[in-house]
């Protein structure tokens, strides 16, 4: 029976220093040799993990938390944010002096030339502060936006923009997605394409944006460094990402 494993990137494939442990690379190579299909499921934009895709030789992925799905280098699902809603959202964030970053599959632009929250948040992913382009969202497919504000300051947006979902990923930053968009939805699109059943689908994750995915797949694996909510939903909790978490998890599942 064909099986597929989806891997989150930050805190799952990449360790706390944003490096790929050699044990994880070796495990993925073994998975492929065993005939298991391997894909990425991440909140990142495709341009943010080009090197990782190359290093692991993976060309199928769920990006932007499910909004842009690529199967063997072909985009099979796109779910952009509504441009008019994004425009009214931008008006509110401007009034509250909360900057945004707009992202499509190729690049990202900020609504301001410089903001410390943007620099700190993007820096945690080892990315520089994006260039300014306030109208980047106009007549483009924006799959994810990032809102920069302190914790609890996003409550106003939750209440006033029900057409969006909000997931905090950093003390200063929140992902903005189309309502109901998640890694789980993106995974469903890919496995429909492959003809797999959910029971043959595995996923490894650690964060709040992994909860739907861990719940939806046949076997959800939380990293030892994962948030408590992820561990509570998972079928298996493996070791920390920096302590061979991928290798140990796949070993315990009998996939390698």
Confidence check: pLDDT of 256 > 90: yes
- Structural domain including 191 reads 4-78+181-252
Question: 94 and 67, same structural domain?
Answer: no
Which pLDDT does position 51 carry in this prediction? 96
The domain that holds 131 is classified in CATH as 3.30.1240.10
Which pLDDT does position 1 carry in this prediction? 73
Question: 186 and 174, same structural domain?
Answer: no
pLDDT tens string 116-130: 999 999 999 999 999
Mean per-residue pLDDT for 147-153? 95
Phi, psi of 242 (to 5 degrees): -85, 0
Question: 186 and 62, same structural domain?
Answer: yes
Any idea which residues carry the catalytic annotation? Answer: 8
Question: 162 and 88, same structural domain?
Answer: yes
Question: 195 and 170, same structural domain?
Answer: no
Judge residue 168's burial from the number of C-beta atoms within 10 Å of its C-beta, 0-12 exposed, 13-18 middle, 19 or more buried: middle
pLDDT tens string 156-213: 999 999 999 999 999 999 999 999 999 999 999 999 999 998 899 999 999 999 999 9
Percent pLDDT > 90 in the chain is 96
Mean per-residue pLDDT for 21-43? 97
86-92: Cβ within 8 A, 24+ apart: 86/137, 86/142, 86/145, 87/137, 89/145, 89/157, 89/161, 89/164, 89/176, 90/137, 92/156, 92/157, 92/160, 92/161
Question: 187 and 72, same structural domain?
Answer: yes
Last residue of a domain, one of 178, 208, 229: 178
- State how many domains the chain has: 2
Mapped onto helix, strand or coil, the DSSP state of residue 139 is coil
Last residue of a domain, one of 178, 196, 218: 178
């Amino acid at each position: 029976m064909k099986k597929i494993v989806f891997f989150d990137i930050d805190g799952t494939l990449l360790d706390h220093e944003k490096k790929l442990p050699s044990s994880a690379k070796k495990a993925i190579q073994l998975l492929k040799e065993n005939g298991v299909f391997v894909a990425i499921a991440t909140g990142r934009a495709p341009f943010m993990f080009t090197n990782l895709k190359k290093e692991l030789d993976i060309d199928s992925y769920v990006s932007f938390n499910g909004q842009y799905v690529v199967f063997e280098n072909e985009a099979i699902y796109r779910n952009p944010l509504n441009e008019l809603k994004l425009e009214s959202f931008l008006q509110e964030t401007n009034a509250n002096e909360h900057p945004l970053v707009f992202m499509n599959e190729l690049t990202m632009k900020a609504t301001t030339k410089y903001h410390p929250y943007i620099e700190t948040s993007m820096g945690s992913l080892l990315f520089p502060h994006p260039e300014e382009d306030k109208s980047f969202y106009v007549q483009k497919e924006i799959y994810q936006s990032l809102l920069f504000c302190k914790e609890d300051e996003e409550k106003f947006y939750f209440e006033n923009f029900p057409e969006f979902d909000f997931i905090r990923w950093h003390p200063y930053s929140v992902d903005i997605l189309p309502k109901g968009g998640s890694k789980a939805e993106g995974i469903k699109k890919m496995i429909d394409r492959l003809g797999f059943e959910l029971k043959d689908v595995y996923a490894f994750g650690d964060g709040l944006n992994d909860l739907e995915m861990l719940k939806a797949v046949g076997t959800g694996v939380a990293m030892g460094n994962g948030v408590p909510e992820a561990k509570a939903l998972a079928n298996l909790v493996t070791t920390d990402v920096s302590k061979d978490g991928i290798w140990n998890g796949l070993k315990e599942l009998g996939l390698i």
